[in-house]
């Protein structure tokens, strides 16, 4: 689900920038510099204090809310407000899944299968990117930007719900997960 949301990285900035009359490269540079990078580092630093589950759920929920607001206000508000809404969706992307998703495959599994699970995690992500790269331009051309953004908001909310079923590795060592894996293997 995380990587389905990354449609915005491939097509979003150019489509939105075009609607705003801004160069796509400049638009994305503003988004990355002001909104993405600072929150990526902040999220990584807060992961052990607040927990991966909380950050990812907050991130997905915020992404969904700001994408939904963005969907219904694009073209009706000033370009700076539109850029800000898109930017805040990016902030929540970095608070949650943009930073946290990489932790799960490594932290939740014992070393004997960690490489495999990380590979599956990466494969799932790449499949999401591949699907998004081909599917969302079709949806965008067929239905327009508002329905496409609504679909992305729904995917974000589903990501928040799915996150609630994951275990919380906050302040737990990899050794603890190693022991848990050994216990499961011995049964």
Q: pLDDT at position 11, please?
A: 55
Handedness of CA 49, 51, 52, 58 (dihedral sign): negative
pLDDT (tens digit per residue) in 103-131: 877 888 887 788 888 888 888 888 887 88
The predicted structure's pLDDT at residue 92? 95
CB-based contact 83:48 (threshold 8 Å): no
Task: Inform me whether the pLDDT recorded for 185 exceeds 80.
Answer: no
Count of the separate structural domains present in the chain: 1
Q: What is the CA radius of gyration of the chain?
A: 18
Q: Does the pLDDT value for residue 150 go beyond 60?
A: yes
Of the pLDDT bands very low, low, confident and very high (cuts 50, 70, 90), residue 179 is: confident
Higher pLDDT, 186 or 153: 153
Strands (E), the chain: none
Q: pTM of the prediction?
A: 0.81
CATH number, position 154: 1.20.1250.20
Mean pLDDT of the chain: 83
Q: How far apart are CA 59 and CA 90, in angstroms?
A: 9
User: Distance between terminal CA atoms of the chain?
Assistant: 32
In a domain, 141, yes or no: yes
Mean local confidence (pLDDT), 24-33: 87
Domain that holds residue 50: 3-165+175-186
Residue 12 has pLDDT above 70, yes or no: no
pLDDT at residue 53, rounded to an integer: 93
Residues composing the chain: 187
Does position 3 have pLDDT exceeding 60, yes or no?
no
């Amino acid at each position: 689900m995380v990587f389905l949301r990354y449609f915005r990285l491939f097509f979003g900035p150019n489509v939105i920038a075009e609607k705003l009359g801004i160069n796509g490269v400049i638009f994305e540079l503003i988004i990355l510099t002001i909104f993405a990078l600072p929150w990526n580092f902040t999220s990584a630093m807060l992961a052990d204090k607040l927990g991966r589950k909380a950050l990812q759920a907050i991130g997905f929920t915020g992404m969904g809310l700001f994408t939904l607001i963005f969907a219904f206000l694009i073209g009706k508000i000033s370009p700076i407000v539109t850029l800000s809404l898109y930017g805040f969706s990016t902030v929540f992307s970095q608070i949650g899944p943009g930073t946290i998703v990489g932790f799960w495959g490594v932290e939740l599994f014992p070393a004997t299968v960690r490489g495999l699970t990380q590979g599956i995690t990466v494969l799932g992500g790449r499949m999401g990117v591949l699907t998004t790269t081909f599917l969302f331009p079709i949806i965008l051309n067929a239905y327009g930007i508002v329905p496409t953004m609504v679909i992305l908001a729904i995917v974000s909310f589903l990501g928040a719900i799915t996150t609630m079923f994951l275990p919380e590795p906050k302040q737990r060592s990899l050794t603890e997960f190693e022991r848990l894996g050994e216990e499961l293997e011995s049964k």
